């Protein structure tokens, strides 16, 4: 699908991988709608990018809120063609500790944001895309969900996070099959270690260890590299129903 003139919903678009996706889409001639709860950061980015970017304060787990944001996107730009689900967070807690079992509330919170939020936005975006006129390839839309390499080799303490991202991986193919008749493709990217604001808070000596753990190139990924892969997925009409690891051949150790 051509990006020029198309409109993309980007959850978690205020920072990190989401912000890189927003910048790439706008630079490619598209419009980006930032769905995020980080009001200050999202507004600043939207203001910087001008008329091609729109911020909609959105709780991705809230059905009504998501529908309102999609309707605003359609009213502003005329439709929705691309959906990038980058909103999510991590959590570290062992299944059993000295004080008891893993907090069920914390487990539910991670699954609700990372998995249910992703499905909520993806399914509603797909419905909006279903009314688009097909392009020359018969496409009406593209959905790219963000998983994680933790879906495949989660570390100690990542039970909740790995479960949520593993489910994002698991729904990629059936969702692609569900939407194939509508001309909507579904892909997932599973990033490894990336230089995001969250990881930047870690001590420099620990960041050095993380860099050296990557086989090649021996560093964390840059958000722009994530955005580059995203662009290729959007543009390549034969990529569908697949999960692509983006991790420099990294396989995480148990801890």
Look up the CATH number of the domain holding residue 165: 3.40.50.720
pLDDT of residue 153: 95
Is residue 252 a part of any domain in this protein? no
Position 206 scores a pLDDT of: 82
Answer whether residue 253 is part of any domain.
no
Residue 66: partners with Cβ closer than 8 Å, 6 or more residues away: 35, 58, 59, 60, 120, 121, 124
Q: How many domains does the chain have?
A: 1
Residue 64's pLDDT is 98
The domain in which residue 47 lies consists of: 7-246
Query: Could you tell me if residue 2 is inside a domain?
Result: no
Nearest to 198 by CA among 17, 4, 13: 17
Query: Is 15 within a domain?
Result: yes
Which residue has 């630079």 as its token pair?
Answer: 27
Judge whether residue 201 has pLDDT over 80.
no
CA 84 from centroid of its chain's CA atoms: 5
pLDDT of residue 73: 98
Q: Closest by alpha carbon to 83, among 134, 10, 139, 33?
A: 10
Looking at residue 23, what is its pLDDT?
A: 98
Catalytic residues: 161
Residue 48 lies in a domain: yes
| pLDDT confidence of residue 114 | 98
Residue 210 has pLDDT above 90, yes or no: no
Q: What is the pTM of this model?
A: 0.96
Q: Is the pLDDT of residue 202 over 80?
A: no
Residue 192 in domain: yes
> What local confidence, expressed as pLDDT, does residue 62 receive?
98
Q: Among residues 87, 226, 106, which one has the least CA distance to residue 168?
A: 87
Cα torsion through 234, 239, 243, 244, rounded to 10: -70
- Tell me, yes or no, whether 27 lies in a domain: yes
Q: What is the mean pLDDT of residues 150-176?
A: 97
Does the residue 251 lie in any domain? no
φ/ψ of residue 101, rounded to 5: -85, 165
At residue 159 the predicted structure's pLDDT band, cuts being 50, 70 and 90, is: very high
């Amino acid at each position: 699908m051509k990006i020029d003139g198309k409109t993309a919903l980007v959850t978690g678009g205020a920072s990190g991988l989401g912000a890189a996706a927003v910048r790439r889409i706008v630079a490619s001639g598209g419009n980006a709608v930032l769905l995020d709860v980080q009001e200050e950061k999202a507004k600043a980015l939207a203001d910087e990018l001008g008329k091609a970017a729109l911020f909609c304060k959105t709780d991705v787990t809230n059905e009504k809120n998501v529908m309102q944001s999609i309707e605003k996107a359609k009213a502003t730009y005329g439709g929705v063609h691309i959906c990038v689900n980058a909103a999510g967070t991590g959590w570290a807690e062992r299944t059993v500790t000295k004080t008891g079992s893993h907090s069920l509330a914390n487990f539910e919170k991670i699954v609700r944001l990372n998995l249910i939020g992703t499905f909520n936005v993806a399914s509603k975006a797909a419905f909006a895309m279903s009314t688009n006129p097909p392009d020359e390839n018969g496409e009406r839309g593209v959905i790219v969900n963000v998983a994680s390499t933790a879906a495949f080799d989660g570390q100690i303490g990542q039970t909740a996070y790995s479960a949520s991202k593993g489910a994002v991986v698991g729904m990629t193919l059936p969702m692609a099959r569900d939407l194939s008749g509508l001309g909507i493709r579904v892909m997932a990217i599973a990033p490894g270690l990336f230089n995001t604001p969250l990881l930047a808070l870690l001590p420099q000596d620990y960041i050095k260890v993380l860099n050296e753990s990557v086989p090649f190139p021996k560093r964390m990924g840059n958000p722009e590299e994530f955005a580059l892969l995203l662009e290729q997925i959007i543009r390549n009409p034969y990529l569908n129903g697949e999960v692509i690891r983006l991790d420099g051949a990294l396989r995480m150790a148990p801890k």
